[in-house]
């Protein structure tokens, strides 16, 4: 199954610049030096390839105790706190996302996403037979422009925005996250120099719509319940998802993000915090062990740690101290040019299940794509009434819906100000 939210269907991948008050020109209120540095950061990201390891950890409690606090007793501790390996390739509006995770049985599941400027590819292999989806950007836009298409959270946590939703692919660009939030929807609360210990930093605080609250209000609970009938979630999971949705609708309408920038590193983000209004932080992220990218005024953290005092599976429940830590450790950073064929997925192994929305008559199929097996006969779900849908097929058909949720947090950072 594709790795989306840790706690199922709706751990909203946020985008903190969604539905916020539109403070047009708010970035203009920043000092010129700061604004210029932030503008240059996004421009200098291309081309880049970053590989990292992601690890969830229990803090101050056993793994099972943490799951209990998060209303997730039904989850396997080893699976929830498992390690995953990720790679992102970005070059001139083209994107490749690789995710690898070990299963309880020792097998490896791989999920890949690629965008070549015109077609979005989504594939999975490892534990089961290969599955590949190919859909033109235009058809994805019509279906769900807010659907999640990639896990770019290392960059989000590090203070950058890379395209991670279908709508972003229309004009795909890399940008400084604070600057994007200000330009698109954030309200600038404060911007001032700040000394922390021996470090002279620059702090920016932005208020914007709470993406979890806004996304929850857009969803019909009964419609979600009907969709879940076709999912592999347990009955307990399904009820937990519905309750999460109700709780998210009760969250505050706005959220604040405070970014701490380091002037010595071209104003790279070294820390950020989420909070409701002027209350205590509900999430804190620390970026450290920076490396300067060769030939660029760009610094990237080798280690990024996000600590949760409020977790998505239990919205509104804030602890006194962190109980979960999400850590990213960089394995490799490369800046060489990336061949175009690395932004295309082409599975040719016999038996691979393909859902192809690029064929000429794709629109004539109920699901918007032709379904077949490589080296086999057509398995046309759309036209052959009564044919059963394989669970793998369902996975890719449903993935655009399920990915409205997705990866936890800072994506929070993204559609608004602030996994």
pLDDT by residue (tens digit) across 282-339? 999 999 999 999 999 999 999 999 999 999 888 889 999 999 999 999 999 999 999 9
Give a yes or no: residue 405 inside a domain.
Answer: yes
Give a yes or no: residue 359 inside a domain.
Answer: yes
CATH number at residue 60: 2.50.20.10
Q: In this model, does residue 247 exceed pLDDT 60?
A: yes
Q: Are strands 281-292 and 175-176 parallel, antiparallel or unpaired?
A: unpaired
Give a yes or no: residue 6 inside a domain.
Answer: no
The rounded mean pLDDT for the chain is 83
Give a yes or no: residue 200 inside a domain.
Answer: yes
DSSP-based helix, strand, coil % in the chain, nearest 5: 25, 35, 40
pLDDT tens-digit map of 136-180: 998 998 888 888 889 999 999 999 999 988 989 989 999 999 998
Give a yes or no: residue 31 inside a domain.
Answer: yes
Decide: residue 398, CB within 10 A, 0-12 exposed, 13-18 middle, 19+ buried.
middle
Give a yes or no: residue 71 inside a domain.
Answer: yes
Model pTM score: 0.81
- Look up the domain containing 237 and give its range: 26-414
Give a yes or no: residue 221 inside a domain.
Answer: yes
Give a yes or no: residue 301 inside a domain.
Answer: yes
Peptide bond into 47 cis (omega under 30): yes
Number of domains the chain contains:
1
Q: How far apart are CA 329 and CA 336, in angstroms?
A: 21
pLDDT tens-digit map of 125-137: 987 789 999 999 9
Identify the residue with better confidence: 237 or 115.
115
Q: In this model, does residue 393 exceed pLDDT 50?
A: no
Give residue 232's pLDDT.
Answer: 80
188: helix, strand or coil = strand
């Amino acid at each position: 199954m594709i790795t989306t939210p840790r706690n199922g269907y709706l751990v909203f991948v946020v985008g903190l610049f969604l539905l916020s008050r539109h403070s047009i020109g708010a970035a203009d209120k920043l000092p010129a030096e700061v604004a210029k540095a932030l503008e240059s950061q996004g421009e200098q990201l291309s081309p880049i390839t970053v590989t990292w390891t992601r690890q969830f950890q229990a803090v101050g409690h056993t793994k099972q105790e943490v799951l209990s606090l998060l209303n997730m007793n039904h989850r396997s501790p080893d699976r929830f706190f498992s390690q995953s390996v990720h790679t992102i390739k970005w070059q001139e509006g083209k994107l490749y996302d690789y995710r690898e995770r070990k299963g309880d049985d020792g097998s490896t599941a791989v999920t890949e996403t690629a965008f070549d400027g015109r077609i979005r590819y989504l594939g999975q292999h490892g534990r089961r037979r290969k599955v590949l989806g190919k859909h033109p950007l235009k058809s994805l836009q019509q279906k769900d422009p807010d659907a999640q298409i990639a896990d770019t959270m290392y960059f989000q946590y590090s203070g950058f925005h890379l395209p991670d939703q279908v709508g972003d692919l229309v004009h795909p660009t890399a940008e400084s996250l604070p600057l994007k939030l200000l330009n698109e929807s954030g309200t600038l609360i404060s911007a001032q120099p700040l000394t922390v210990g021996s470090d002279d930093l620059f702090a920016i605080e932005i208020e914007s719509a709470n993406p979890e609250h806004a996304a929850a209000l857009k969803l019909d609970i009964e419609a979600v319940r009907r969709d879940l009938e076709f999912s592999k979630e347990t009955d307990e999971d399904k009820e937990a998802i519905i309750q999460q949705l109700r709780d998210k609708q009760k969250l505050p309408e706005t959220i604040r993000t405070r970014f701490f920038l380091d002037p010595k590193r071209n104003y790279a983000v070294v820390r950020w915090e989420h909070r409701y209004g002027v209350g205590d932080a509900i999430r804190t992220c620390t970026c450290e062990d920076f490396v300067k990218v060769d030939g660029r005024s760009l610094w990237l953290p080798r280690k990024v740690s996000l600590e949760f005092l409020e977790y998505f599976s239990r919205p509104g429940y804030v602890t006194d101290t962190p109980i979960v830590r999400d850590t990213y450790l960089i394995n490799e950073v490369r800046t060489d040019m990336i061949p175009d064929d690395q932004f295309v997925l082409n599975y040719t192994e016999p038996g691979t299940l393909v859902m192809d929305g690029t064929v000429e008559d794709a629109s004539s199929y109920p699901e918007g794509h032709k379904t077949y097996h490589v080296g086999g006969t057509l398995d046309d779900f759309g036209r052959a009434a009564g044919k059963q849908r394989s669970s793998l097929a369902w996975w890719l058909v449903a993935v655009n819906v399920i990915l409205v949720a997705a990866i936890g947090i800072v994506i929070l950072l993204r559609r608004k100000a602030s996994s």
